[in-house]
Structure 1
Amino acid sequence: MADPSPGTAPEPAAGRGPLAWLNRRRQAHPGAVRALRWTLTALAAVLVLTALLLPNRAGAIRPDRFTRLPMEAILGAALVMVLPRRPRLVVAAVAGTALGAMTVLNLLDIGFTEYLGRPFNLVLDWGLLPDARAYVEDAMGRAAAVGATVGLVALILLLLTVMALATVRLAHLLADHRRAATRGTLIAAVAWVLCSALGLQISGVPVAADRTASALAIQARRVQDTLRDEADFRKVAEVDAFGNTPGSQLVPDLRGKDMIFTFIESYGRSAIEDPIMAPGVDRTLAARTEALAKSGFHARSGWLTSATYGGSSWLGHSTTLSGLWIDNQQRYRTVMASDRMSLTEAFRRTGDWDTVGVMPGVQKAWPEQRFYGLDTVRNAFQLGYQGPKFSWSTMPDQYALEAFQRLEHGRKRAKPLMSEVILTSSHQPWAPIPKMVDWDEIGDGSVFKGIEKAGHRASDIITSEPKSRAEYGKSIQYSVTALTEWLQRYGTDDTVLVFLGDHQPIARVSGENASRDVPVSIVAKDPKVLDKVASWGWSEGLRPAHDAPVWKMSAFRDRFLTAYGSTPHPKRN
């Protein structure tokens, strides 16, 4: 073999290297290679069209939603065909990544609507994602939470990457077949215009679609509304009808009473009126009304429309006690940082009550204590519980109430007590649910170990709508029973209990398009306490009638203060 001429690099040996191997495979199976290419192209087209047409509500995901003609695909095709190669690749990759991001937002909208009854807020809701992870860990275990987190991050990265690769592949295809692509794009554009002008529909769904463009516009408008709402709400929050009322003129008609404000997690109207859950809950309410009456307690009940749905209980708590409509996290932060008087703070301002909070769901620092005017707060770690967690709930309601009695309510005091108590046993996923035990056997909570172990697993309930609804109803029965038995056991002639739900359960339990109403009850032995609210038109007993008055939750503070003799002295910062 002759030596290569000077200055000439030797050619690589034939058949060596990965590229040479790949070329041999292509040459040996040209049909399979073409089929693979067209399969990948078809998958890219399906992926892009699915993303362009994907609704942001689970109930809207139907086959007819994906048989539409997306305007964005037509405009994108026209754009990439007129661009030179390098700008075309950049535009296609950026558009694909953006489409992937839009798909993530649509999926977040689906999840938030399912659990919170509202779409994802691009400005405010990122902070709720760690809470979602904590909920998964409490309900399903740490391994499931870590796996879900890793899987979600991987899915998002994969979605962004694959969507970008898909749009780049389709852009190459259009450029390589420019003439046919131009004709097809013109035909599609004319068809879209005609379908839009004629209002052509299939099964009630317009054929001409602009789903992604509309979604982007909605997201932009939502961001603008959020920023505008922040400024507007600050002005509203500065006005307080009772902000300058002296302590001596606040709730004078409740002097000497032990006041207890209790929120029952997810206690909504559906528990009382849904045909599956209502029979058991209504029996419990009737039985507990009768039992309380035998002990001298009577009740009046109505409805409040909650500012939240399915979760974010703190929005319901703050709306009830602040007298402001607090339906997002920014409003919540604004109020918590303000000097507005909460209903519980009103009792502290009088100087005639000690104030305490019992918060078994709080497991970290809780600066909200200042806003609620609570001298003492007992969190999950300060109630002495040594039993098992019940999924998300750190302890059974019965134990939390007994600990409240032992640590605060049962103590001898120079002043009456005003308490805010949050009950958590009816928190989703409603498995396992505690059972009532003899009050004298509660001890440190170890008695609940066998009950927790014998109960349903969260994984068995959370994936089944019928089981979730049934177990939710049982959890409400348990919480109401625990609270009212505690009142029978430890209440006195001067005890006044106000209890209500913070929000409805998620749509999978309460039903699509369910109201946001929650029951609210006032229970007391002293007839003068209930006489003060006789004009409200509330129903007798613990079960509000279907046609009982419905107020916005934000109206409760001022109505309550007024009913019990408080004198308005407005404050404007």
Structure 2
Amino acid sequence: MPNTIGGLKPAMFVRIPAEAIIGAVVLLSLPRRPRLVLAALGGAVVGALAIVDVFNIGFLEYLGRPFNIILDWSLLPDARGYLQDTLGTTTELAITVGAVLLVFLVIGLVALAAVRLADQLARSRGRATRGTLIVGTVWITCNALGLSLTGAPLASQKAAAVLKTQVQTVRATLRDEADFQKVAKVDAFGNTPGSQLVPALRGKDMIFTFIESYGRSAIEDPIEAPGVDKTLDAQTAMLKKAGYAAKSGWLTSATYGGSSWLGHSTTMSGLWVSNQQRYRTVMASDHLSLTKAFKKTGDFDTVGVMPGIQKGWPEQSFYGLDKVYNAFQLGYKGPKFSWSTMPDQYALQQFQERVHSKKPADGKSRMSFLILTSSHQPWAPIPKMVPWDQLGDGSVFNAIQKAGNKASDVIADTTKSRQEYGKSVQYTVTALTQWLQRYGNDNTVLVFLGDHQPIARVSGNHASRDVPISIVAKDPKVLDAIDSWNWTDGLRPAHNAPVWKMSAFRDKFLAAYGSTPHPKKN
């Protein structure tokens, strides 16, 4: 069983597996009972490896990485939630039940087939022995001569290679857990007093915003880029008229295609949070997040607006947020847009009414943390901008949602997925920049970026993991402080603009705005 989409070719299924030859030799040498037990066990392992290969295909296609047999089971409930929001409860339930049955059937039927084959070998022991010897000789010859069929070696030992890879993955995962716990305890700003954190931003209206799936492909892909680039350039010009300036660069995300929380935590922690195990370690630590640095100063109220959060969110403590508004606390009465609980324009308006328009107590400033969701796959249906004073409780979006594309139609069409993805990014960028023009002030500093690239089917099989990042402000001193970064003027980073690892941003940002390092060491 191949473990990539590209490997699903007929030639891959006509190779000679070394494991089958060795298995036949062993089975022929055993008495009946141990022979049947070993055959059943071996068949079950072969079936399980085929299931792992299917998972690998899915993970490579959607997340750009192989399936991790230890860490990735926890993502399955999220996958179910995505299917439910996208295709409906009935379809999701049918897919889930079908997938579970398929797993048991594959493992069970392959085990039964192996038992039957072992019995046939024993019944025709003489012919089976000669056949095994002949096939073994052919395998050795093909392997020695490097013979192949349409690029696939005729002599295969893939099952052994998959087992070896999984064993190495388990060892590497366990080793990574121990190593990362040590890394997470070292923090260049961990012991910095609040009075020495971001002094250049005191009195500012700080806003950090992540745009879902806003990746480099949106700006450079030939299908997506024309519309997105036009929007970025137009909004740059509009912001300039309103007195704002911007600088933009690139960050290489720790994730790809999904698992947005890994991108959020990598940016804010300054640590490379590339898997669920690292994420749990960071969230349970006292490592200083960029957002918590503002809280630590004592001069900022800290608020989060999270329209994608629909359950308890203990991460609030790590991010140092005094108050968090989730999907159920923003008063939305309109329809969901597939996975996205509400249009970004509505979420931004609620941020304005519930948070931004109100002055913090005790003369403090405010630091806000927003995660916008309208550009989340499957990019159907996509909201449209409506007059800001007509947003109300969100019911105005009923007609827009009904008139939009069906998620099932877009998912099945790669070209349409790329087109609609680009439109979703245009929508969110427009909503965010219009909000800034409408409600921003002389002290507003907006930092917005993507969390990861969209899935490979949209971003391309060989796309980078880069995402755009922009800092927008009216105060020229804010952008002067990052002049040495050599970022591009405006909201659209140049192709050759600097590229940093996403984990580098926290320390660079803190240093640029006057923070003094006081390391906390393991």
So what's the TM-score if we normalise by structure 2? 0.99
Q: Deviations over 1:326-379 (max 9, x none)?
A: 000000000000000000000000001100000000000000000000000000
Hey, what's the Cα distance between the residues in 2 that align with 1:65 and 1:295?
Answer: 60
1:572 Cα deviation (Å)? 1.3
Percent of matched pairs sharing the same residue: 69
SS of the residue aligned with 1:571?
A: coil
Hey, what's the Cα distance between the residues in 2 that align with 1:195 and 1:565?
Answer: 66
Is 1:381 matched up with 2:328? yes
Aligned residue type for 1:496: V
Aligned residue type for 2:121: L
1:201 Cα deviation (Å)? 2.5
Count of equivalent residues: 520
Aligned mate of 1:422, from 371, 382, 396? 371
Is 1:496 matched up with 2:445? yes
Is 1:57 matched up with 2:4? yes
SS of the residue aligned with 1:360?
A: coil
Hey, what's the Cα distance between the residues in 2 that align with 1:206 and 1:456?
Answer: 44
Is 1:572 matched up with 2:499? no
Q: Which residue of structure 2 lines up, in the alignment, with residue 478 of structure 1?
A: 427
Hey, what's the Cα distance between the residues in 2 that align with 1:64 and 1:259?
Answer: 58
1:170 Cα deviation (Å)? 1.3
Q: Which has the higher contact order (CA 8 A, sep 6+)?
A: 2
Q: Which residue of structure 1 lines up, in the alignment, with residue 408 of structure 2?
A: 459
Hey, what's the Cα distance between the residues in 1 that align with 2:217 and 2:273?
Answer: 22
1:80 Cα deviation (Å)? 1.1
Q: Deviations over 1:68-109 (max 9, x none)?
A: 111011011111111111211111111111111111111111
Q: Once superposed, which parts of structure 1, at least 4 consecutive aligned residues long, lie more than 3 Å away?
A: none
- Within a 5 Å distance, the mapping from 1:155-174 to structure 2 comes to 155-174=102-121
1:226 Cα deviation (Å)? 0.3
Hey, what's the Cα distance between the residues in 2 that align with 1:516 and 1:61?
Answer: 26
Gaps of 5+ in 2: none
Hey, what's the Cα distance between the residues in 2 that align with 1:60 and 1:523?
Answer: 45
SS of the residue aligned with 1:244?
A: coil
Hey, what's the Cα distance between the residues in 1 that align with 2:171 and 2:40?
Answer: 28
Aligned mate of 1:318, from 262, 265, 279? 265
Is 1:184 matched up with 2:122? no
Aligned residue type for 1:564: Y
Aligned mate of 1:144, from 85, 91, 116? 91
Hey, what's the Cα distance between the residues in 1 that align with 2:451 and 2:185?
Answer: 24
Is 1:435 matched up with 2:384? yes
SS of the residue aligned with 1:240?
A: coil
- Within a 5 Å distance, the mapping from 1:258-297 to structure 2 comes to 258-297=205-244
Hey, what's the Cα distance between the residues in 1 that align with 2:146 and 2:179?
Answer: 39
Aligned residue type for 2:112: L
Aligned mate of 2:185, from 230, 238, 249? 238
Q: Which residue of structure 2 lines up, in the alignment, with residue 27 of structure 1?
A: none
Aligned residue type for 2:219: I
Aligned mate of 1:255, from 197, 202, 210? 202
Gaps of 5+ in 1: 1-53
Q: Which residue of structure 1 lines up, in the alignment, with residue 74 of structure 2?
A: 127
1:436 Cα deviation (Å)? 0.1
Q: Which residue of structure 2 lines up, in the alignment, with residue 345 of structure 1?
A: 292
Q: Which has the larger displacement, 333-342 or 184-193?
A: 184-193
1:169 Cα deviation (Å)? 1.5
Hey, what's the Cα distance between the residues in 1 that align with 2:11 and 2:493?
Answer: 43
Hey, what's the Cα distance between the residues in 1 that align with 2:9 and 2:268?
Answer: 42
SS of the residue aligned with 2:412?
A: coil
Hey, what's the Cα distance between the residues in 2 that align with 1:327 and 1:167?
Answer: 39
1:539 Cα deviation (Å)? 0.5
Q: Which residue of structure 2 lines up, in the alignment, with residue 553 of structure 1?
A: 502
Hey, what's the Cα distance between the residues in 2 that align with 1:276 and 1:166?
Answer: 48
Q: Name the larger-Rg structure.
A: 1
Q: Deviations over 1:370-400 (max 9, x none)?
A: 0000000000001111111000000000000
1:312 Cα deviation (Å)? 0.2
Aligned residue type for 1:439: W
Aligned mate of 1:299, from 236, 246, 256? 246
1:127 Cα deviation (Å)? 0.7
